[in-house]
Amino acid sequence: MVLKLFFPQCCNTADSGLLVGRWIPGHNSAVVLAVIHYPFIPGQVKKYLSELQSQTQVDLTVLGSWSMPKEGQEGMDSFLKDLSTIFPQKCWLQLSREIGKRGFTCQVVQNNGRLLQDREQKNGEGDKIILIHYDQRKVMLSQLHPVQDVGQKSDVEASELRLVFQTVAQSQPLFFLDKYDDGPLKLSHWQSEGREASIIAELLKQASVPVCIFLTWLLSLWYWFCSFRILHLPPVLFISSKLSTCVQSVYRAVHFRTVFSPKKAGTHVEFMRKANIFVSFLVDIALGLLLISWLYRENRISKLADTLVPVADVSMIPIISHLQKSLGLSSVQWCCFVPQRERRRRSARSAERCCCHRSEVGRVAKELQELLEWLMGAPAGLKMNRALDQVLGRFFLYHIHLWISYIHLMSPFIERILWYVGLSACLGLTFALSVLSDIVALLTFHIYCFYVYGARLYCLTIYGLSSLWRLFRGKKWNVLRQRVDSCSYDLDQLFIGTLLFTILLFLLPTTALYYLVFTLLRLVVVLFQGVIHLSVDFINSFPLFAIGLRICRPYRLAEGVKFNVLCQEPGTPLHLMMEINPLKCSSVLQCYRTPTYSCYPKDSWAGLCKKLFVGELIYPWKQKTDKTD
C-alpha cells in the first residue's frame, strides 16, 4: 500500500506545529492545507476546526505534527508526538525537516503504535510513503477539466486528483487567518507569503451592486416596452425575426440580464459564462467607439451618402427609354403613365446632381439593365422563347424602375439616416454590423424580388414537368401516403398532359436561364450578408476572457497534472513536484464558446444543391418539409 501525502510548498519553511488537512475518502492519501504554529491551546484548535467545517463543508482535521527544529526548541519533537492522544486519528503523521536538507523525514504512527516506516524497512515490499509537493495558490484557483461541480451528482466516482483540487478550493476560509494576524492561532499557508492587494477588488465588488441593480431596472423597462401587445402581432413578429438589428437587440438584452444580475454565479461554468459575455461586451463597445471616431471624421458620412445615392440622369434615362420602347408607349402616354409629381421631382434632382459623379447604386442599376437587355436577346447564342423572354424582360425592367424611384425618394434623407445610424455603433460593433446587414437587405430588395420571381416560376415548371412525367408512366403522387402509386388515365388526360409537357419543356430553357442569373446575384448578396453575420457571431460567441486566462494564467484552466522527481535521498520518502498541465486552446474554445442565435445546424451542401436545382427558396424563407404535387 502506498500512502500519498500532498504537501504545500509554502509550508516547507514553516515553524513547528500541527498539520491541518483532510484525509481523502476512499483513497489512501491526505492533503495538508496549513500548519498551526506552536504555541497553541488544543481546545482552541478544535473549536477553530469545527467552525471551519461548518463553513466549508470539508472534513478538516489535524493530520499530524510538523517539526522544524530551532534553537531553544530541543524537546519539541517529543511534545508534538504526544499530541496524538489529544487529536486521535487512524494514522498520525510525523513530518520533520532538518536545516540544510531538502528532503523530509516522514513517519506514520497507527493506532496500534507501530510505525509504517518500520514495516517498510523490514519487509522491503510493504507500505511506502510518497510526498507530493504542490503550489497551493495555483491549485486553489485552478479548475480541473472536464468541469464537474461540487454539488453535481454523477454515476462515476470522483478521482483522487479531482478530490484534492476540490478540497483545496473549498478550504478558502482557512486561508483568511495567517501568522501575521493577532490572535491565539497563527497559521502558515499560501497567504503567508504575502497577501494580495484585494482592497480595490472588494471596493469594486461593493460598488458594482448598485450599478447592477440600476441596469437590471433599465432592462425591466425594456422588457416592459417589448411586452406591448402590438409588438406581438404576427406581421410585427415576422418582420422583427428577419431584421438582424432586432435579433441582435434581443440577444444583447438576454446577455445583459445574465451579466448584470445581482445574484452571484454559483458554479464555475456560470462564472466563466458571465465573464466571457462581459469582456465580449466591453470589446464590442470599444470597437464600436473606434468605428464612430473614424466614421465622423473628414466628412465621411457625406461621402458615403454620395456613394449610395444614384444619379438620376446617368442611370434612369437609358432604362426609362428602353422601358418606354418595350411597352410601346408614346411620349404622351408615358407622361400619363408616370405621375407628374414624380417627373418634377426627378427633373429637379437631375438638375441638382448633373455635375455629380456616377454612384455605385447607379452603376448597379445600369449593369442590371444591360444584363436584362442581354437576356432579352440571344444570350450566349441560345435560342430562347421570344414571347416569354420579352414578357419577363419588361417585367424585370419595370421593377428596376420602381426600385430606382424608391432610392430617389429616399435620397434627400440618406445622409441624415446614415448620420443617425452611425451613432448605433455606440451600442457595439455588432449592432452597427447588424444595421449594415439590414441596409444591404433593403438596398438589394429588387434583387431578392427577381430571385423570388425566377425561383417560383422555375419551381412551378420543374414540379409540373415531374408530375406530367409520372402521368406518362401511369403513376401519380399519393399525398396521403407520401409515395408514388399506380394510376390509370384516359386518352383525353394523356393528350392534355402531352400538350402541357411539351409547352413546359420548351419554356424551360428561358425560365431556367433567368432563374440561374438571378440566383447567382442573390447568392452574392447572401454571401456578403453571411460574412457580416459570421463577424457578429464571432464577436458574440468568442470566449475572450477564457482565452486571455489561458494565455496569462494557464494554470487557471487545468487539463491534468504531471509529476517531476524533486528529491530522492536515502532514509527519506520519495518527493515529487506536481505541476498543472494547462487546457489546450482548442478545448477552451469548445468548452467556453457562448451559444448564439445562429448556432444551429445548417443544410448540408447536398441539400443546398438540391434546393437550388428544384428552385426552392434557400433564404430567408422556411425550409420545405412536405412534398407537394
User: Which amino acid is present at 248?
Assistant: Q
What H or E segment, with its residue span, contains residue 477? strand 475-478
Q: With a threshold of 0.75, does the pTM exceed it?
A: no
State whether residue 148 is helix, strand or coil: coil
| Residue 444: per-residue pLDDT | 82
Whole-angstrom distance, CA of residue 547 vs CA of residue 553: 10
| Residue 201: per-residue pLDDT | 61
User: Which amino acid is present at 254?
Assistant: V
User: Which amino acid is present at 404?
Assistant: I
Mean pLDDT of the chain: 76
Pairing of strands 128-134, 574-582: parallel
Side-chain-side CA neighbours of 178 within 13 Å: the count stands at: 15
| Residue 286: per-residue pLDDT | 92
| Residue 54: per-residue pLDDT | 86
Pairing of strands 91-96, 61-67: parallel
Side-chain-side CA neighbours of 73 within 13 Å: the count stands at: 15
| Residue 76: per-residue pLDDT | 67
Query: Average of pLDDT values for 190-219?
Result: 65
Query: Average of pLDDT values for 311-333?
Result: 44
Query: Average of pLDDT values for 218-223?
Result: 74
Whole-angstrom distance, CA of residue 111 vs CA of residue 89: 8
Query: Average of pLDDT values for 247-259?
Result: 82
| Residue 74: per-residue pLDDT | 62
Query: Average of pLDDT values for 166-181?
Result: 75
- Place 71 in a pLDDT band, splitting at 50, 70 and 90: low
pLDDT digit string (tens) for 17-27?
888 888 888 88
28-32, 350-354, 408-412: least confidently modelled range: 350-354
Longest dimension (CA), the chain: 122
Yes or no: say if 216 and 260 are a contact pair by the CB < 8 Å rule.
yes
Instruction: Provide φ and ψ at 532, rounded to 5°.
Output: -65, -45
Whole-angstrom distance, CA of residue 154 vs CA of residue 206: 36
pLDDT digit string (tens) for 573-619?
888 889 999 989 888 988 888 877 654 445 677 777 888 888 888 76
87-91, 350-354, 454-458, 566-570: least confidently modelled range: 350-354
* Residue 177 in this model has a pLDDT that exceeds 70: no
Whole-angstrom distance, CA of residue 510 vs CA of residue 615: 14
Neighbours of 156 (CB within 10 A): 6
Cell 486566462 appears where?
Answer: 549
Yes or no: say if 343 and 335 are a contact pair by the CB < 8 Å rule.
yes
pLDDT digit string (tens) for 358-368?
344 556 667 77
Question: What length is written for the chain?
Answer: 629
Whole-angstrom distance, CA of residue 91 vs CA of residue 19: 13
| Residue 183: per-residue pLDDT | 65
Whole-angstrom distance, CA of residue 388 vs CA of residue 393: 8
Whole-angstrom distance, CA of residue 494 vs CA of residue 474: 10
Yes or no: say if 543 and 588 are a contact pair by the CB < 8 Å rule.
yes
* Residue 129 in this model has a pLDDT that exceeds 50: yes
* Residue 214 in this model has a pLDDT that exceeds 50: yes
* Residue 391 in this model has a pLDDT that exceeds 80: yes
Query: Average of pLDDT values for 374-394?
Result: 79
| Residue 353: per-residue pLDDT | 41
> By C-alpha distance, which of 365, 351, 369, 374 is closest to 405?
365
- Place 117 in a pLDDT band, splitting at 50, 70 and 90: low
pLDDT digit string (tens) for 488-541?
778 888 888 888 888 888 888 888 888 888 888 888 888 888 889 889 989 888
Yes or no: say if 397 and 322 are a contact pair by the CB < 8 Å rule.
yes
Q: What angle do CA 213, 429, 602 make, to 5 degrees?
A: 100
> Percent of the chain scored above 70 by pLDDT?
76
* Residue 330 in this model has a pLDDT that exceeds 60: no
* Residue 82 in this model has a pLDDT that exceeds 60: yes
Greater pLDDT, 602 or 89:
89
User: Which amino acid is present at 397?
Assistant: L
DSSP annotation of 115: B
Contacts with 374 (C-beta within 8 Å, 6 or more apart), sequence order: none
Yes or no: say if 170 and 150 are a contact pair by the CB < 8 Å rule.
yes
Query: Average of pLDDT values for 6-17?
Result: 84
Whole-angstrom distance, CA of residue 395 vs CA of residue 450: 10
> By C-alpha distance, which of 309, 371, 350, 343 is closest to 520?
371
Bridge partners, 295 (sequence order): none
- Place 441 in a pLDDT band, splitting at 50, 70 and 90: confident
| Residue 314: per-residue pLDDT | 36
Taking each continuous run of H as one helix and of E as one strand, the counts in the chain are: 21, 13
261-270, 271-280, 442-451, 464-473: least confidently modelled range: 261-270
Query: Average of pLDDT values for 211-218?
Result: 74
> By C-alpha distance, which of 175, 28, 16 is closest to 97?
16
| Residue 283: per-residue pLDDT | 92
> Percent of the chain scored above 90 by pLDDT?
2
Whole-angstrom distance, CA of residue 615 vs CA of residue 611: 6
Neighbours of 315 (CB within 10 A): 24
59-68, 184-193, 425-434: least confidently modelled range: 184-193
| Residue 72: per-residue pLDDT | 59
| Residue 309: per-residue pLDDT | 61
Query: Average of pLDDT values for 152-164?
Result: 68
> By C-alpha distance, which of 558, 575, 573 is closest to 108?
573
132-146, 243-257, 303-317, 498-512: least confidently modelled range: 303-317
| Residue 155: per-residue pLDDT | 44
Query: Average of pLDDT values for 459-488?
Result: 82
Whole-angstrom distance, CA of residue 498 vs CA of residue 317: 45
Q: Radius of gyration of the chain from Cα atoms?
A: 39
